[in-house]
Amino acid sequence: MARIGIAYNVKPETTAQTASQLPATLGGDEAEGSLADEEPPSNGSVPSRRRGERTPVAEAGGRVLVEESAADDEFAEWDTWETISAVADALSVYGQVIHLEATRDFPERLQAERPDIVFNMAEGRGGKNRESLVPAICEFFDVPYSGSDPLTLALCLDKSRTKEVLSYYGVPTAAFAVVESEAQLGAIPQRLRYPLFVKPVHEGSSKGITERNFCSTPADLAAHVRYLLESYSQPVLIEEFLPGAEYTCAVMGNGPRAQVLPIVGMNFDALPIGAVPVYGFEAKWVWDRPDAPLAIFDCPAQMSPALRRTVEATSLHAYRSLGCRDWARVDLRLDGRGVPNVIEVNPLPGILPDPADNSCFPKAARAAGLTYEQLIQACLTSAAERYGMRLPGAPR
């Protein structure tokens, strides 16, 4: 039987009261201490609230908004113990699962445990290269791991660099500019047409993306760019807002065997009246609750065969252009001419196990006839094949 490592960052809401759920290798005082000492993944403010317990929602001008606070989304990228446990259960068919929380002592524990392969779902502790840290350490110790390599992970977390590479390879993406200070707003190319949409450059899981990011005027743009610069301490991406339908593509596999699972379409009619048609922080973490889920997803998406082929081809082109491996989620939106444009590529896709959580990658897998366990196993076996490994007891 194999020794399978699982590398992760756990949300700090998993505290002492849930320590009893942790495996023996992370139980008791050790587990509590490792979580209490954790630093936030990016901007250094206080931990986020639980899903569905965010800053109270208010109404403004007919649009439903969430009161902004960078602290609200601080740990949005990290996983709950429910997700980590579900992944570990799926991997247990191969043998012993070794929990490797991505804390400061990760290198020492990885070297001591020497797993045969690591299933990587760690988002990282801080900085714009945070998602690259665990894979880089695995490579340093010559330990195989799942998913994309450090270069691709760092590249995809930088939205502007991602768009530059996509543009080089001829993958459609919205026109954009990047500013590092409010003073640079005056130099934004005149070719950018309002409305515009702004985002922090180095964040995922809809961190920093709310209703207010939609900017109809230069005054809106200046105000929200200033807010994002101050709150997230990083450059801000400004891009033309794409008015068409939005889709999410779960891509799995490598080389010519890479394939797109059933496409997820966004039903923005499910959002509150007056809401901007984007799948941002409010839609993901405030309005969509386990006790009242939004009917925002359509999977398989209702679309013409021709559009489906174009969306799939564009997703695979982006996946390969950025060097993604094993799996990644590609988000696309149609422009005014109906052309699919890539808006983001996430090589560490969200994999929440509960269908009520509306996690897109597992949703696409279920539509393809895969169980959650089979989805996780498919990612690991794809990685093992890259290394020429045959996992003992691997399900067919």
210 is a domain residue: no
344 is a domain residue: no
Least-confidence region, from 9-13, 249-253, 315-319: 9-13
220 is a domain residue: no
Q: How many domains does the chain have?
A: 1
Whole-model pTM: value is 0.83
331 is a domain residue: no
286 is a domain residue: no
b/e string for 363-372 if b means 16 or more Cβ within 10 A? bbbbbbebeb
Residue 90 has pLDDT above 90, yes or no: yes
364 is a domain residue: no
Local confidence band at 315 (pLDDT 50, 70, 90 cut-offs): very high
11 is a domain residue: yes
**pLDDT for position 171:** 98
Residue 351 has pLDDT above 70, yes or no: yes
Domain residues for 47?
2-56+73-147
10 is a domain residue: yes
Percent of the chain at pLDDT > 70 equals: 82
In this prediction, residues 336-358 reach a mean pLDDT of 93
Local confidence band at 232 (pLDDT 50, 70, 90 cut-offs): confident
- Note the pLDDT tens digit of each residue in 242-295: 999 999 999 999 999 999 999 999 999 998 888 888 887 788 778 877 777 788
**pLDDT for position 6:** 98
- Note the pLDDT tens digit of each residue in 139-150: 999 999 999 999
Structure tokens at 227: 């807010």
